[in-house]
Structure 1
Amino acid sequence: MRRGRQAPVQREVRVQINDQIRFPKVRLIDQDGSQRGIVTSDEARNIAYDAGLDLVVVSANADPPVCRVMNYDKFRYEQKKKTQEAKKKQTTVETKEIKFRPKTEEHDLNFKTKNIRKFLKNGNKVKLTMRFRGREIVYSQTIGIEAMNKIAESLKDDAVILQMPKMEGRQLVMFVGPKP
């Protein structure tokens, strides 16, 4: 049974809040953003409870650690929204692959070129692979390079050549990407 690739697990950043804070003294920032100064953890916790809010460690590495009085649930919600927005804006570029052989006919090459244009229009990179079997390998530097150059010439309006044709084992490989 074959399994697909699983999505990476989104881990939430754990911060210390309320009773989890064990520092003897902390630098306290009030809910309105003003500095309260250096106080004990118990005193800071009491100030947060009196305001009906949470005490959250903002910077544990500072000396003394910085804590803020805030609504922790609202803070987590806003952080989650920010990560979702960042995720929406990022784009993933797929690499599509088109395979053919040195004896591929003209009509089939035209059809594959049409598919390459479609992939490029969608913003994907395309890997062109020409596979040589048996004694066909002797034609790699003649027929193979000519075919790749012919395809590159037909795609020059739609694509940018990212990697010129290069032999990798028994395959001639070329990468093309969409024009910016």
Structure 2
Amino acid sequence: MATSFPSSGGSGRPGQYQRRTNNDPFAAIRRNHRIKVPQIRVISPEGKQLGILATDKALALAIQVGLDLVEVAPNATPPVCRIMDFGKYVYEEQKKVSHAKVTASKIKEIEFSARIAENDFHTKIRHAEEFLNHGAKVKLRLKFRGREMAHTEIGFGVITKALSELDGMGHPDSPPKLMGKQINVMLTPLPTNKRKPKYLKEGEVTHDVPSKPGDDDEDDDHSGAKA
């Protein structure tokens, strides 16, 4: 019967199972014969409530359709289990984590100064639009120099103006914050169909944003230029 559940992660070798317990975040999810309670509330593969069934009967239903019986709410009374493809579920969850890591790595940085010239300001806003247009998160950073720290309101004014210029391309994750001698704020791109660039021409081709920071040689010129 064990061969009916290739995706359940079960193994007849205790040593191998112990390694999965230590390293596999899904190992703690009870499924199939590891569900020991006599009765469970069952959900069908389509998400329909099948009511409270004897666990062995629910497992037989899962085997009949070639799927797994997976505990999804262990603390409920009785526990809730769903008939599903556990292997596919694990794959989709791992795919989400992988996508999140790739997205997190696509962060570009634009640096301002409190006394930035108008033409330099617009150049940096254009670069920020390019990055947001390619789906990258953009960190706006303003560094204070010397006595500029005595007038942080000037720096906040520059960042506020930048956010206003970019409001058609992205939204701030949180308000700008003063950290040490710099102001930081992170921008997340808007959905593609809601982006309204002010500096990029419609249909304009821009350079690709690399999947890892530092892969783009031009990035230092765009984001790290001192103004």
Normalised-by-shorter TM-score class: 0.5 to 0.7
The structure 1 residue matched to 2:136, chosen from 107, 121, 124, is 124
Residue equivalent to 1:101: 113
Aligned equivalent of 1:176: 187
Counterpart residue number, 1:166? 177
Contact 2:109–2:140 at 8 Å: present in 1 too?
yes
- Which position in structure 2 is the counterpart of 1:146? 157
Is 1:134 matched with 2:146?
yes
TM-score, normalising length: structure 1: 0.53
Displacement of 1:87 after TM fit?
4.3
- What is the CA RMSD across the aligned residues, in angstroms? 3.6
Q: Supply the distance in 1 between the matched residues of 2:172 and 2:124 (Cα, whole angstroms).
A: 17
Per the normalisation by structure 2, the TM-score is: 0.44
Moved more, 93-102 or 150-159: 93-102
Contact 2:143 2:181 in 1 (8 A): yes
1:31-84 CA distances to partner (integer Å, 9 max, x unpaired)?
A: xxxxxxxxxxxxxxxxxxxxxxxxxx933251699799x9xxxx9xx8666644
| Cα deviation, residue 165, structure 1 | 2.1
Q: 1:88 to 1:61 in 2, by over 3 A?
A: closer
Q: Which runs of 5+ in 2 are unaligned?
A: 1-6, 15-30, 39-54, 69-84, 192-227
Q: CA deviation at 1:122?
A: 2.3
Please name the residue that 2:124 is paired with: 112
- Please give the secondary structure, in 1, of the residue aligned with 2:174: strand
Bigger relative contact order, structure 1 or 2, given CA contacts below 8 A and separation 6+? 2
Is there any run of 5+ residues in structure 1 with no aligned partner, and where?
1-11, 21-56
| SS of the residue 2:32 aligns to | strand
Of the three residues 15, 20, 23, the one matched with 2:10 is 15
Tell me the matched-pair count: 126
Larger gyration radius, structure 1 or structure 2: 1
Deviation for aligned residue 1:103: 2.6
